[in-house]
Amino acid sequence: MSAAEKWVYDNSRPTALTVPGRVFRAVHHLVLVSGVGAMVLATHEPVAAAHATLLALAFNVALGFFAVEYVVRLYAAAASLSAEPTHPWTARWEWATSLNGLIDLAAVLPFVLAGLLAWNPATINLFAIVWVLKLFRYSPGSGMLQRVLRDARESLFSVFVAFIVVLLVAATLMHVFEGPGQPKLYGSIPAALWWGITTLTTTGYGDVVPVSPLGRLVAGMVMICGIAVFALWAGILANAFANEVRRREFLRNWDLITKVPFFRDLGAATIADIAQILKPQAVEKGRTIIRRGDPGDCMFFIVSGEVEVRLAPEPRRLGPGGFFGEIALITGEPRSATAVAAKETQLLVLDIADFRQLTARRPELANVVTEEGLRRMERVRQSRGGGQ
CA distance 76 to 68: 12
Report CA dihedral (215, 217, 222, 225) to the nearest 10 degrees.
-170
Same domain, 19 and 120: yes
Chosen domain end from 98, 113, 139? 139
Strand partners, 301: 323, 348
What are φ and ψ of residue 135, in 5° steps?
-70, -25
Specify if 276 maps to a domain: yes
Length of the chain: 388
Specify if 252 maps to a domain: no
Which carries the bigger pLDDT value, residue 202 or residue 115? Answer: 202
Same domain, 27 and 82: yes
pLDDT tier at 387, thresholds 50, 70, 90: very low
Which has the closest alpha carbon to 177: 125, 226, 150, 216?
216
The reported pLDDT for the residue numbered 301 is 82
Same domain, 119 and 206: no
Q: What's the pTM value of the predicted model, to 2 decimals? A: 0.61
Distances from the Cα of 50 to the Cα of 42, 58, 93, 125, 242, angstroms: 10, 15, 44, 18, 50
Rounded mean pLDDT of 303-308?
Answer: 86
Specify if 250 maps to a domain: no
Specify if 335 maps to a domain: yes
CATH code, domain carrying 329: 2.60.120.10
Q: What is the mean pLDDT of the chain?
A: 82
**Into how many domains does the chain fold?**
3
Chosen domain end from 104, 139, 174? 139
Same domain, 278 and 363: yes
Same domain, 284 and 166: no
The reported pLDDT for the residue numbered 233 is 92
Which carries the bigger pLDDT value, residue 128 or residue 380? Answer: 128
Which carries the bigger pLDDT value, residue 322 or residue 47? Answer: 47
CA distance 305 to 343: 5
- Report the range out of 123-132, 248-257, 315-324, 337-346 with the highest average pLDDT: 337-346
CA distance 36 to 125: 10
Specify if 55 maps to a domain: yes
Residue 81 has pLDDT above 60, yes or no: no
The reported pLDDT for the residue numbered 364 is 65
Same domain, 17 and 130: yes
Same domain, 34 and 108: yes
The reported pLDDT for the residue numbered 169 is 94
Residue 305 has pLDDT above 50, yes or no: yes
Rounded mean pLDDT of 297-323?
Answer: 81
The reported pLDDT for the residue numbered 165 is 94
Same domain, 290 and 336: yes
Task: Check the CA dihedral 268-270-275-279 and report its sign.
Answer: negative
Q: From start to end of the chain, where are the E strands?
A: 279-283, 288-290, 298-304, 307-310, 316-318, 323-324, 338-341, 345-351
pLDDT tier at 313, thresholds 50, 70, 90: low
pLDDT tier at 260, thresholds 50, 70, 90: low
Q: What residues make up the domain containing 171? A: 153-245
Specify if 254 maps to a domain: no
**Three-state DSSP class for 51?**
coil
Same domain, 7 and 135: yes
- Which range (101-110, 130-139, 189-198, 254-263) has the least confidence? 254-263
Residue 385 has pLDDT above 60, yes or no: no
Specify if 208 maps to a domain: yes
Residues of the chain above pLDDT 70, percent: 83
pLDDT tier at 85, thresholds 50, 70, 90: low
Residue 380 has pLDDT above 70, yes or no: no
β-sheet with 345-351: strand ranges across? 279-283, 345-351, 298-304, 323-324
Summarised one tens digit per residue, pLDDT across range 178-234 is 999 899 899 999 999 999 999 998 888 888 899 999 999 999 999 999 999 999 999
Rounded mean pLDDT of 19-35?
Answer: 90
Same domain, 226 and 274: no
Chosen domain end from 180, 213, 245? 245
Report CA dihedral (327, 330, 331, 335) to the nearest 10 degrees.
40
DSSP codes, 259-323: TSHHHHTS-HHHHHHHHTT-EEEEE-TT-EEE-TTS---EEEEEEES-EEEE-SSS-EEE-TT-E
What are φ and ψ of residue 227, in 5° steps?
-60, -45
Q: How many CA atoms lie within 13 A of 356 on its CB side?
A: 6
Residue 386 has pLDDT above 70, yes or no: no
Strand partners, 338: 310
The reported pLDDT for the residue numbered 388 is 46
CA distance 308 to 335: 15
CATH code, domain carrying 178: 1.10.287.70
β-sheet with 338-341: strand ranges across? 288-290, 338-341, 307-310, 316-318
The reported pLDDT for the residue numbered 162 is 92
Sequence letter at residue 266:
L
Which has the closest alpha carbon to 339: 377, 296, 372?
296
The reported pLDDT for the residue numbered 127 is 83
Which has the closest alpha carbon to 216: 189, 182, 184?
182
The neighbour count for residue 90, using CB atoms within 10 Å, is: 14
Specify if 109 maps to a domain: yes
